[in-house]
Structure formats: structure tokens, C-alpha cells
Chains A and B, each alone.
Chain A
């Protein structure tokens, strides 16, 4: 009993120290963004703001609002599209085991291992040729395509848990490939879509490389704009921190709202339900 209590105390101690280490930078971002530019200094960076105000957040919003719009315009359709395609792929690969399904799945998975840097130049040429360079629709296509491997993986494993009997019952009840998808598979896919959506939204929202390579102002997503704020001669640290804070809010919200389904979805099938 005593040994167990000591163990528990140790675990909690380690966890508390780890979380303090992780949260320190967040603390600095938070307090700095509430200070005025004049109040920011290396000496007082750990202090709470003497006169907390929202002026830096307002300044950051003024600079970023259009890019925020771009990011939403990018991330929402790309998330939905790549999730939908992943669901269709996963359905076909897990439930209609056609000849070569496993080989095809392997090829799709290979997409996960392609470093983005290696495809940048050809990608740029392609987008230019089809006239979508420097546009959000172009970025939507790129992120949709690069999302397919992971969403396919998510949905294939998710659908493996739906018993084949249920699909066969639907076949006998009188429907086919798309009918089963529409009436049986999709209604059972909610947690699959949640996992896929959280993952894809976070990836696409935070992506910098494709965004900086394929777009110029004013078509850039917020990640690129955030770096641009830091790029001028004198850095307004309070505005910089406030911007970082603003940019991180959407992914936080997505995770907080959908998070409880996320773990459930990731674990689905890991243990017999």
C-alpha cells in the first residue's frame, strides 16, 4: 500500500514538472500579448502585465483578419473533401476486397512517406500549368490530395470494425455499393469523420510549406502571414505573441469540441467493443 502511494506521488510529481515545462512558453505568449509594446522587455518577460489591455490583439487582428478568412476558406473544404474521399476509399478497400485491394492500399499509404519538400518544384509547375498557382482553390486541391493517404488509413481501419454481416443484410434488403455506403456505412461513420476532421483540419491549418510556396499576398493563409509579421525590422513582440495566440485558437476549439470523440475513434478496434 505504502509503496503504491509513493509511486503515485512520484508519477504526479513528474507529470506536474513536465506540464510546467510545457506550459511556460504558453504563459509567456499569453502575458506578453496582454502588454503594450513599451512594457515588453527581456528583463520583465516573466512578469504579469501591469496594465493588461487588448490593444495588441486588436492590432494583430487588423493585420491577420483577411488571412484568417483565407485559412478557413482553405481548411474547411480541404478537410471535408479529403475526409469524404478517405471514407470512400476506406469503404472500398475494407469492404469490397477486390483483386489487388491490398496492393492498392499499400501504394496509397506510400503517399504518407513522401517528403513535401521533394515535390515542391513539380507541384509548383503543375499548379501554374492548370492556372491555380497563387490561389486558395489550388491549395485546397493540394491538401486534399496529400490528405488522402492518412484519411484512407483512418477510414479503412475504422470500417474494418463494421461486421460484414450488416452489409450483406443490406444487400439482401435490396441495395448495392452506393446504397450501402449511403444508408449503412455513412451513418456509422461519425467518429471516423471526427478523427479524420481533427487530424486534417490541424494539419492543413498549421501547414506552412505548401502555403508559402504556392501563394503570394494577399492570398496567403494565416500561417504565412504570421511569419511575415515577424519579418519586419523592429519586432513588436506583443503583437507577434497576440497573433500566435489568435492563430492557435481554431485548432484548439476543434480539438476541445470534438476531442472526446477523437480518442474514442483512435482506439476503436484496438480493444474488442
Chain B
């Protein structure tokens, strides 16, 4: 096992910059997830680590070795592809053994490793079958097995769960996480599915248009996104963005939301001082708002009045879409909440959970010192 370092990695296709000056430090035994919408450069980044794609600029190090110019076979990596990419003419056993055979591993060692991996992955009964005789989930596990037996320095996974149905995906997600804990492997995992990223990643790299937006723990990405893109890309429904006007009263910052005053918490002050324009955007996640009666708003919450427009019951919870001035604000309420469309409500926002953005640059106004939960 080893860490991976990307230094000023850039990839251009003609005039298109697919990956733009990416710098990343991937720790040993880390499960790092590259997350982003399609076309954001995450797969290209992974393929450059694998050696399947050339670098236009920059260097990639695995452990202490600069592997930028090495072919894939000399990088000591294994990859799991989105479409599994199994060898259709080989049995499950042969699929897993192929890489080891090419590396001239002794036969009994190959046998031992393949059988071990098959045991871990529950493939033991299928070793003599060919890929087309397996279900999608089983094929996926063979692809994983093929990577495991190699005992590589780094596992690279390119959306390995996206071809599975929803139920199997959830199940395999858990298996993958368990596998990571068991093998103590360094894994670089590409996905556009934020749930996969949140559940499995020790850290997440959010990318957009070839540029890294944020590198942080799942919690950091979720609670303190560095810009509006990350705030809305992660989370279902996404973070509420509420436009407001910034004023100052007796040394404290106050946001005007649809004519209502919201006294902003202390921890936002350092960031807000840099603002020259009046317009700002408040960000808050749907679960950090409660719909309450005015008199019930507890300490540490900031009330805003609104009107219920749509109620979306989801069984275990309900999404309540409220109108606050020109903004639509989604509130996540549990299934015991009772309310009607057109009700006048008070939205009590947890002040610790507030984020603030500059509406022009869309960047977060929170400074690095802002605590996760103030």
C-alpha cells in the first residue's frame, strides 16, 4: 500500500482543458472519492493515475516513485471499471488469475490468492463460470476480485456501482466499505453519486470543469461547502440558497431576507467584513430548519416568516417547500409534522448551521477558522 500524489496535473484534449492543474495528496489507506457531475474531469484524473491517459503537464507519484511516464503495468495499481471489463472468454478463476499469471506468480500462490478473494467476495461457487453466466452484481464482484488478488499499491475504481440496480448498489456499497476496512487499501474512487461519496469516502474531492473545488471530509463538504456549486451539488435536496441584503447594526451584521431582519451569528463576522457590496446569499440545509410557531423558536435559532407552498411526503419524512419573499426554501420535517399548503409558518434556522456566500464569486464567506459546528 502507498499514498498517491498529484502535482500540477493537467490534461488537455485539443483546446479543451479536461483536468486543470490538480494537486492532490492521497494518504496511504485512504478511501478518496472523486465526486462531480459528468464531464468534470474526475474519470480523466483517475485514468491518468492508472496510466491509461497521458498527462499534458504535471507529475504523479505513487509512494515515492514518479510514475508519470510509466505504462499501467509498471505502476502497481489495479482498476475496477464501470462496465466491469471482464475477459469474456475466461472463467471467473481465469479472469482473476490473469494478471498474476502475467506477472509470473507461482501457480500455487495464484491459486491461494484467487480462492481467498473468491471467499471474501462470495464467488467460490462460480469460479468455473464465464462472465456471461453471471448476474451484474456477481460480475461486479469478479471485477473487484481481479483487483484484490493483485494486492496492488492502489485500487482505482471508476463508478463501479453505477450499473447495478438500486438495491444491489446499496448492498455493494456496504461491502466495499467493509472491504476497505479489511484490506486497509488505498482506494481512489470516482463517482457522480453523492450518496456513494458521503458513505464511503474518508475524504471527498469535488470537481467541476476540470478544477478541484474542495477537498475535505464528507462532513466538511456537507456542512461547510467552499462555494455554491458544492453546496448545491451535495445533498438531496440541495442546500437552500437565500438571497439577502447585508446591513450593519451596532457593530453586528444583519441580513434582510424579504424585508425581515435576521441577526447573523458572530462566527460569520470575519468573513462578512470583506464584503463591499450589499447583496449576499445565505445557505442552510433543509434539516437545519424547523417549522414552528413564533413563540416556540428556541435559542440559537433565527426565525423568518414564510408560506407553505408544496408538501412532499416521503414516508419517513416530508419535504416542505416554503416561500420566503422571492426564495423557495425547502424544510425537512419528520412525518409527525402536520401542516397545510398556504399555511403561514415560521422557519427557525439553526444559526450554527448557517453558511454565507458572495453572490458574485459564489464563494463561501466562511474563513478557515470557522468551526464545523460553531
A-binding residues in B (CB < 8 A): 50-52, 71-73, 77-79, 81-89, 98-99, 102-103, 146, 150
Contact = CB atoms under 8 A, between A and B. Distances in A.
B52 A171 contact: yes
B70 to A, nearest CB: 12
Given A179-B102, A183-B98, A169 B89 contact: no
A166 B85 contact: yes
B87 A166 contact: yes
Contacts of B82: 165
Given A165-B81, A165-B85, A166-B88, A173 B99 contact: yes
B52 A173 contact: no
B83 A163 contact: yes
A104 to B, nearest CB: 22
Nearest to A162: B88
Given A169-B81, A183-B98, A176 B73 contact: yes
A173 B88 contact: no
Contacts of A168: 50, 52, 72, 79, 81, 85
Interface in A157-172: 163, 165-166, 168-172
Given A168-B52, A172-B50, A163 B85 contact: yes
Nearest to A179: B102
Interface of A: 163, 165-166, 168-176, 179, 183-184, 187-188
B156 to A, nearest CB: 8
Nearest to B104: A174
A172 B77 contact: yes
B81 to A, nearest CB: 5
B73 A172 contact: yes
Contacts of B86: 166, 169
Nearest to B99: A173
A233 B71 CA distance: 71
Nearest to B77: A172
12 contacts: A166-B86, A166-B88, A168-B52, A169-B87, A171-B72, A172-B50, A172-B99, A173-B73, A175-B73, A179-B102, A184-B87, A184-B89
A172 B83 contact: no
Contacts of B77: 172
B87 A172 contact: no
A166 B146 CA distance: 13
A169 B73 contact: no
Contacts of A174: 73, 99, 102-103
B79 A172 contact: yes
Given A169-B79, A173-B73, A188-B88, 18 more contacts: A163-B85, A165-B81, A165-B82, A168-B79, A169-B146, A170-B87, A170-B98, A172-B52, A172-B72, A172-B77, A172-B78, A172-B99, A174-B99, A175-B73, A175-B102, A176-B73, A179-B102, A183-B98
Contacts of A175: 73, 102
A190 B232 CA distance: 51
A176 B81 contact: no
A171 B73 contact: yes
Contacts of B84: 165
Contacts of B89: 184, 187-188
B155 to A, nearest CB: 11
Contacts of A173: 73, 98-99, 102, 146, 150
A163 B85 CA distance: 8
B350 to A, nearest CB: 46
A252 to B, nearest CB: 30
A210 to B, nearest CB: 37
Nearest 9 A/B pairs, CB to CB:
A165-B85, A173-B99, A174-B73, A174-B102, A169-B85, A187-B89, A172-B72, A171-B72, A165-B81
A95 to B, nearest CB: 13
A163 B82 CA distance: 12
**A170, A172, A174, A179: residue with the most chain B Cβ atoms closer than 10 Å:** A172
Contacts of B102: 173-175, 179
B83 A171 contact: no
A165 B98 contact: no
B51 to A, nearest CB: 8
A173 B81 CA distance: 13
B27 to A, nearest CB: 22
Contacts of A183: 98
A161 to B, nearest CB: 11
Contacts of A171: 51-52, 71-73
Contacts of B150: 173
A165 B146 CA distance: 14
A163 B84 CA distance: 11
B109 to A, nearest CB: 15
A57 to B, nearest CB: 44
A187 B77 CA distance: 25
A186 to B, nearest CB: 9
A170 B83 CA distance: 14
Contacts of A170: 87, 98
A199 B71 CA distance: 38
